[in-house]
Amino acid sequence: MLRIILLLTLCVLPFCGFCRPMACDTCFEPDTLDFVFKLHRQTRQAQIIVENRADSVVMHWQMGRHGRLLKGRYVMGSKSVAEGSRLCLNQPEPGKAISVADNETAFMISARAYRDMKLTGSLDYNGEVYEVVDSVPCGVEVPSIHVKSAASGCEMWIIDSFHLPVVWKMRNNPIEIGWEISNAATAFSPYRNRLRIAFISDPHIQDIENHAELIRPMDAQLRSTRLFNENIFAFKAALDDVKARGIRLVALPGDLTDNAQRVNVAAVKEMLDKYADEYGMRFFATVGNHDPAWAAGKADVSGDSLLYSCGYEELLAEWSRLGFMPSEEDKFWATPFSKYEYDRYSYGLACEQASLDNRSYRSASGEIVYDASYVVEPVEGLWLLSIDGGTYDSNGKSTGLGYNDVLRQKPFLVEWMKFVSDEARKRGKRLVAFCHYPAADFFNGAASLIGNRWGWDKMDLRRQPSDATRQAIASTGVRLHFAGHMHLNNTAVSTGADSTDRLINIQVPSLGAYQPAYKILSATADSLVYEVQTVIIDSVQGLRAAASQYYAEYLKDRREGKKDRISDFFYVRRYDTFCNLHFKNVVELRSAPRDLPAVLLDSIQDDGLITDLYRLHYAGSLALRDIPESRMKRHMALFDRAMTMQSDYGKELRTLRQVFDLFASGLPDCNFIVDLREGEVR
């Protein structure tokens, strides 16, 4: 019974984390530790935050249960940390601090046990003798020691750090619960604080804090690809998390607002100026299809000047500090139109050539349009390449087609990307590119299957860069590329005309959609190897800011006899749960009816299969937090039965299974290593 209680209560703990710096032999400063526990083929996920307090250690936990956020902690005193010889098995208690016994430790071994292991090759723990088997790195320059008990067969993999010897993997332990810290490679990396860049994309904020009249009905949100009202608070939560981690460089791959409304553009400026001025953070943005939505701007139909949609001129003037104009802090800054070389760079020269009059091209329709691309060296040795993938139709409205249209309307941009990548290699610079638009296949190879079976107008296939486009962008020599636009979590590789040209594209999720998250890129000692971490935003202040309006809308719907889709939101306290609930409604009301054959929608019972299909597409491995193993087994059983069905339903269900499997089998997309030497992700 004890092990069952531990599994159920310990093992579903999503966090937003913090960690105090500590002085240690390997300079490890872990953030949230993502545990995966296993018992009798059941898998549960957990997260724990480690805090060092002088000679003691605190393990913080928090758990989402039925819309509530439960919290607690394990406290290990000096004797426990120094001399413990057993693992603590006390179950966590919400709202309480468990004082670990002096002879016990939680999720780590004691300093004495660590010394014994290093000096003698064995340690005594849990009443058993563990012998050192071998040394196994769990990440780039993150060593760990593998030990095993001959008596019970229990195995532990222990981080090789005197100050924090965490058991990052456990097998065959006495209570039969195995675990592994899935993000050990990034959490314990000694290079986490050398160079880190946060990527926050697609917040689509609306300033409902200062303009309550901007609050939109819940019904409008449930028929949209993103939230509107809660996004400004999610953006602040992400920025606060970045600040708490000590990250100073932040890249913003577009769609900071919903349509570059003047009031929201001003809100973004005020917010980011505060973080820059008070915390020393630097922000570097690119433009998206929503900012600007119209190249020259557009007045709101109501004539409200606050809702005027800014074009390039006003937008870049307001956001000049977001990398769109040179700064004296930068080592280098240039655009595709700059006429100076790196060796002759000066801030004054950059300012002279940075005006929009010098940064324009003629669109396919003959209009003069600005381009906001730039490359910047904010710290020695790092080049951030911000690519403006925006293109516009004859009415000046964004096409939203990204690189597919860039090759037609802005071929000069592709040539410039090649020039920048060549220069970066020649000068020994780390080059990290970002654009609003994807540069790789974000369907995990399912695009042709979906298009040929269900239609090429389904599931936003038109936004997928074509084979020719992907090859052209990969052939520029850009190796690492971050993108937004699609509101999904995905990693993919594109290959250029020369097979050695491999571009790794990392899709950054939207803060206003499922799953709300941002990415952290961390450099290692090898300039061609990076670590990527994905941080879910689960706790947001202001989540109930529009609650009274939602309640009034709920009452109105009841009077009119409409289906209740709102009341469930009243009981949600976690932002990621709020986004998940929004997503379920969007799939039912918008996505599935547009994308899938009627025979599937009419025949599949409400067992979550359709929503889980979209979860896997949009959130990748992050979706597994919301898909219980029991439900996944039901999906597989249905797919197995479809193999013998001769009906149209059976045929469509077999196609659905192929798409489902591909969505579930992409490259690592949560916490992983990017190796640019061979263009690999692991």
Q: Is residue 545 part of a domain?
A: no
In this structure, the answer to whether residues 207 and 176 fall within a common structural domain is no
Tallying the residues shown for the chain, one arrives at 682
Q: Give the best-scoring range by mean pLDDT among 19-28, 56-65, 298-307, 329-338.
A: 329-338
In this structure, the answer to whether residues 144 and 242 fall within a common structural domain is no
In this structure, the answer to whether residues 499 and 353 fall within a common structural domain is yes
Residue-wise pLDDT tens digits, 274-327: 999 999 999 999 999 999 999 999 987 677 778 899 999 999 999 999 999 999
In this structure, the answer to whether residues 575 and 650 fall within a common structural domain is yes
Q: Which two tokens stand for residue 361?
A: 């091209």
Asked if omega into 292 is within 30° of 0 (cis), the reply is yes
Q: Is residue 492 part of a domain?
A: yes
Q: Which domain holds residue 526?
A: 196-540+668-681
Q: Is the C-alpha dihedral spanning 500, 501, 504, 505 positive or negative?
A: negative
Q: Is residue 211 part of a domain?
A: yes
Residue-wise pLDDT tens digits, 561-572: 999 999 999 999
In this structure, the answer to whether residues 163 and 201 fall within a common structural domain is no
CA distance 461 to 453: 13
Mean pLDDT of 416-424: 98
In this structure, the answer to whether residues 168 and 216 fall within a common structural domain is no
In this structure, the answer to whether residues 151 and 215 fall within a common structural domain is no
In this structure, the answer to whether residues 659 and 672 fall within a common structural domain is no
Lowest model confidence (mean pLDDT) among 22-31, 378-387, 524-533, 601-610: 22-31
Choice between 508 and 136, residue whose per-residue pLDDT is larger:
508
Question: 381, 523 in Cβ contact below 8 A?
Answer: no
In this structure, the answer to whether residues 110 and 201 fall within a common structural domain is no
Q: Is residue 397 part of a domain?
A: yes
In this structure, the answer to whether residues 286 and 148 fall within a common structural domain is no
Q: Which two tokens stand for residue 96?
A: 């309480």
Question: 469, 407 in Cβ contact below 8 A?
Answer: yes
CA distance 621 to 615: 9
Domain edge (last residue) among 157, 187, 217: 187
For residue 528, give the CATH number of its domain.
Answer: 3.60.21.10
Query: At 303, is the secondary structure helix, strand, or coil?
Result: coil
Q: Is residue 98 part of a domain?
A: yes
Give the pLDDT score at 2. Answer: 31
Mean pLDDT of 327-343: 97
Mean pLDDT of 639-658: 94
Nearby residues of 225 by Cβ (< 8 Å), 6 or more positions away: 487, 513, 586, 590
In this structure, the answer to whether residues 571 and 529 fall within a common structural domain is no
CA distance 366 to 667: 41
Residue-wise pLDDT tens digits, 217-237: 999 999 999 999 999 999 999
In this structure, the answer to whether residues 348 and 203 fall within a common structural domain is yes
Q: What is the DSSP string of 32-92?
A: EEEEEEEETTEEEEEEEEEEEETTEEEEEEEEEETTEEEEEEEEE-HHHHHH--EE--PPP
Residue-wise pLDDT tens digits, 28-61: 556 678 888 887 667 777 788 888 776 788 988 8
**679: pLDDT strictly greater than 50:** yes
- Structural domain total, the chain: 3
For residue 171, what are the β-bridge partners?
Answer: 155
